[in-house]
């Protein structure tokens, strides 16, 4: 008997689990059984019914409508009627409402989770929810002009952003709302649940009809950077394999972030379409290394690589300027700074930044400019394009570099290997690098075993300790270094935890360092942009890596040439942003305009991007003014600097090293 009961219970359970229609069927069966039982009982105990059918109908009416309860006569009928009516409340009304409510709730959750295939085209598709996703959406929302021009080239008019996340719910939407704020336009953002590695989920977001597809990296994905790269390459292979879902002649632009530079060739083989790859670790490591070598550059990066304020890098075609010497074109843009050109080459672009003054652009070249808005990146008149000649004879100046530098890294992440490789890429400089982390030294050494760096120029030492513990940090002796770099640790669960450790370490570090400019240059890497406000008017500089990478991912999709431009600007060798002492140009002690600065820089074979006033170095912008008015006048002090674009290979020159006390 128990076995039979178990079988019946199991069969009933399986039936109920099949959904609301089968649940209603079970309740209907119970209602029929109660009506039959009550009707037959009333027919057998009383003489009020002519036949059993009338009694069953009588029971069914009492079961479904309590209003009949007072119409019955006789004790037996009243008792049976009361019992049937109570069962009706439970079965007919209670169960029915519960089933319908549950079904409606499930339907709402299913619709809210985004399982329905979308019916849009020419949208921007973001595959994956990471700490890059919300900043990417913000960049797209704020870059209205660039987005509008991108969509017009596709024949579209309205921006639609589709985000494919593993699980979409109200929490995810609220997180997006919190991070973007008033700039968020809800009607332009569509969420869909799914995995980017499953083709049926990619079809759900109409990947073949998208205008651009972005695959951002994740700093805190389970399994680390290697798992992230594997996921992205698998997604690229899936999209390439099912290319038939694309419309002919409307192939989407794909921008992917890869952590390990050795996997970039694999990613290119996996997807043969229009693919832009951002080497996330390499790019951030280059920014950190350049900022360590030239403190203050973080303020330049913050302006050029975010939409928060000031200037951006624009690419425009000006075929009317073809054939004119570059030295004259430097003065053709009254509200922009000309950096060079990008030239179409095969399936990509070749950047030619800070070329010789005699260089002449071709009609197909795109001009690279720094401006506050797209409309300002235009030449004034053909006459202005012929500009004045440089004030001094042409000839490149040397870049003053510190030949030997001691660097203390606090924290451990997958960027450390690439960062050390970046330091090793500067042949005229030597580095002594100490890494302090709670991650065991043996584990870190194993991770760097395959790292090829010249041991005579780059020496790495692993220190075990917790930089949030005063005794461990004090034992490292941070005051004896030229640079202290606090890295966002990726072994923690989230960016909030990583930033919390970084901020605590920064506070302890400042307590150990001397006041003023006597101590080492401090650079802090943050993960959450909301924490940047904590460092306002505090010594040191901040780089927010997810914001910078999100800017690159978004704008590389909107303007493909920018990938080559950023790679040249912030890559090893080639064109490099540098602080030039005003005394090198002979500009101290006299009123000068930015036009005068431009001419002196051009005479030295460099391009002036702006100025840095040391008296304002502690302000929000670090005293950096990019692309100022050509008529603005300054009287520079010897400690002031000119922000220039120069070339490392031609300009590097070591100077004697002054060790820290």
> If pLDDT is split at 50, 70 and 90, which confidence band does 514 have?
confident
pLDDT of residue 456: 79
Q: Give the pair of three-digit tokens for residue 87.
A: 């069962």
On whether the CB atoms of residues 287 and 293 are closer than 8 A, the answer is: no
> If pLDDT is split at 50, 70 and 90, which confidence band does 2 have?
low
Over residues 286-302, the mean pLDDT reads 90
pLDDT(195) > 70: yes
Query: Is 2-112 in CATH node 1.10.287.70?
Result: yes
Q: Give the pair of three-digit tokens for residue 165.
A: 């996340």
Q: Tell me the whole-structure pTM to 2 decimals.
A: 0.81
**405-421: burial string, b at 16+ Cβ within 10 Å, e else:** bbbbbbbbbbbbbbbbb
Check residues 22 and 561 and name the one with the higher pLDDT.
561
On whether the CB atoms of residues 653 and 426 are closer than 8 A, the answer is: no
pLDDT of residue 387: 43
> If pLDDT is split at 50, 70 and 90, which confidence band does 640 have?
very high
pLDDT of residue 60: 81
Of 295, 357, 281, nearest to 548 (Cα)? 281
Q: Say yes or no: do domains 124-273 and 399-546 share a fold.
A: yes
Check residues 475 and 540 and name the one with the higher pLDDT.
475
pLDDT of residue 388: 45
Over residues 399-421, the mean pLDDT reads 87
Of 185, 176, 187, 347, nearest to 253 (Cα)? 347
* pLDDT, tens digit (0-9, with 9 covering 90-100), for 602-629: 999 999 999 999 888 877 788 999 999 9
Dmax (CA) for the chain in angstroms is 125
| Cα separation, 253 vs 152, whole angstroms | 15
Pairing status of strand 521-526 against strand 348-353: unpaired
Q: What percent of the chain has pLDDT over 70?
A: 91
Candidate from 5-19, 189-203, 505-519, 540-554 with smallest mean pLDDT: 5-19
Over residues 56-71, the mean pLDDT reads 74
> If pLDDT is split at 50, 70 and 90, which confidence band does 390 have?
very low
The domain 399-546 is placed in CATH, from the list 3.40.50.12160, 3.40.50.720, 3.40.50.2000, 3.30.300.30, at 3.40.50.720
Q: Give the pair of three-digit tokens for residue 205.
A: 């977001």
- With 0-12 / 13-18 / 19 or more C-beta atoms within 10 angstroms meaning exposed / middle / buried, residue 291 is buried
> Domain coordinates of the chain in residue numbers?
2-112, 124-273, 399-546
pLDDT of residue 267: 92
pLDDT(19) > 80: no
* pLDDT, tens digit (0-9, with 9 covering 90-100), for 90-107: 776 777 788 888 888 877
| Cα separation, 362 vs 378, whole angstroms | 17
Domain at 124-273: CATH architecture: 3-Layer(aba) Sandwich (3.40)
pLDDT of residue 234: 94
Helix pair angle (561-569, 545-558), 10° resolution: 140
- C-alpha distance from residue 373 to each of 145, 308, 370, 402, 548 (Å): 9, 13, 9, 36, 19
Provide the 8-state DSSP code for 51.
Answer: S
- Kindly give, in sequence order, each residue whose CB lies less than 8 Å from that of residue 539, ignoring residues fewer than 6 positions away: 510, 522, 618
pLDDT of residue 505: 93
> If pLDDT is split at 50, 70 and 90, which confidence band does 393 have?
very low
């Amino acid at each position: 008997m128990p076995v039979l009961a178990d079988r019946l219970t199991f069969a009933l359970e399986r039936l109920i689990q099949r959904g609301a229609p089968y649940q209603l069927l079970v309740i209907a069966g119970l209602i029929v059984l109660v009506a039959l039982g009550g009707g037959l009982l009333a027919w057998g105990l009383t003489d009020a019914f002519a036949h059993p059918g009338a009694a069953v109908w009588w029971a069914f009416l009492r079961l479904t409508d309590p209003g009949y309860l007072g119409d019955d006569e006789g004790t037996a009928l009243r008792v049976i009627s009361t019992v049937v009516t109570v069962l009706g409340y439970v079965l007919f009304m209670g169960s029915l409402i519960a089933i319908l409510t549950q079904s409606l709730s499930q339907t709402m959750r299913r619709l809210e989770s985004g399982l329905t295939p979308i019916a849009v085209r020419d949208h921007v598709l973001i595959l994956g929810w990471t700490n890059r996703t919300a900043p990417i959406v913000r960049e797209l929302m704020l870059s209205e002009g660039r987005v509008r021009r991108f969509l017009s080239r596709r024949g579209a008019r309205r921006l639609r952003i589709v985000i494919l996340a593993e699980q979409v719910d109200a929490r995810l939407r609220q997180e997006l709302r919190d991070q973007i704020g008033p700039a968020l336009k809800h009607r332009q953002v569509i969420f869909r649940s799914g995995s980017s590695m499953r083709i049926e989920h990619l079809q759900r977001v109409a990947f073949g009809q998208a205008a651009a597809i972005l695959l951002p990296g994740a700093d805190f994905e389970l399994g680390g950077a290697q798992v992230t790269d594997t996921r992205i390459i698998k997604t690229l292979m899936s999209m390439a394999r099912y290319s038939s879902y694309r419309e002919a002649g409307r192939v989407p632009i794909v921008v992917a972030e890869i952590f390990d530079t050795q996997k970039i060739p694999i990613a290119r083989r996996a997807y043969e379409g229009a693919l832009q790859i951002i080497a996330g670790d390499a790019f951030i490591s280059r920014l950190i290394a350049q900022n360590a070598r030239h403190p203050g550059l973080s303020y330049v990066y913050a302006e050029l690589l975010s939409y928060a304020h000031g200037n951006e890098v624009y690419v425009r075609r000006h075929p009317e300027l073809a054939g004119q010497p570059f030295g004259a074109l430097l003065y053709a843009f009254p509200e922009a700074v000309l950096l060079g050109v990008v030239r179409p080459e095969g399936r990509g672009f070749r950047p030619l930044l800070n070329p010789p003054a005699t260089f002449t652009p071709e009609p197909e070249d795109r001009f690279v400019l720094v401006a506050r808005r797209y409309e300002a990146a235009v030449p004034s008149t053909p006459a202005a394009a012929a500009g004045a000649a440089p004030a001094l004879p042409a000839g490149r100046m040397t870049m003053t570099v510190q030949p030997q530098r001691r660097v203390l890294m606090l924290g451990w992440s997958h960027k450390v290997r690439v960062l050390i490789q970046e330091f090793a890429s500067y042949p005229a400089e030597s580095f002594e690098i100490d890494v302090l982390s709670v991650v065991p030294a043996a584990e870190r050494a194993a991770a760097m075993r395959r790292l090829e760096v010249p041991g005579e120029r780059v020496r790495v030492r692993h220190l075990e300790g917790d930089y949030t513990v005063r005794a461990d940090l004090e034992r490292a002796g941070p005051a004896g270094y030229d640079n202290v770099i606090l890295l966002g640790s990726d072994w923690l669960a989230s960016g909030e935890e990583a930033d919390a450790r970084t901020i605590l370490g920064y506070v302890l570090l400042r307590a150990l360092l001397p006041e003023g400019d006597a101590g080492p240059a401090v650079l802090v890497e943050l993960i959450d942009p909301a924490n940047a406000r904590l460092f306002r008017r505090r010594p040191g500089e901040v780089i927010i890596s997810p914001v910078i990478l999100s800017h690159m991912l978004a704008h590389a999709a909107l303007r493909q040439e920018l990938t080559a431009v950023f790679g040249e600007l912030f890559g090893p060798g080639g064109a490099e942003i540098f602080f030039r002492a005003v005394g090198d140009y002979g500009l101290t002690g006299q009123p000068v305009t930015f036009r005068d600065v431009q001419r002196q820089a051009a005479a030295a074979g460099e391009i002036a991007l702006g100025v840095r006033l040391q008296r304002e170095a502690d302000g929000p912008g670090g005293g950096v003014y990019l692309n100022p008015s050509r008529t603005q006048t300054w009287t520079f002090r010897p400690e002031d600097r000119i922000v220039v674009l120069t070339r490392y290979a031609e300009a590097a020159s070591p100077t004697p090293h002054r060790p820290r006390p």
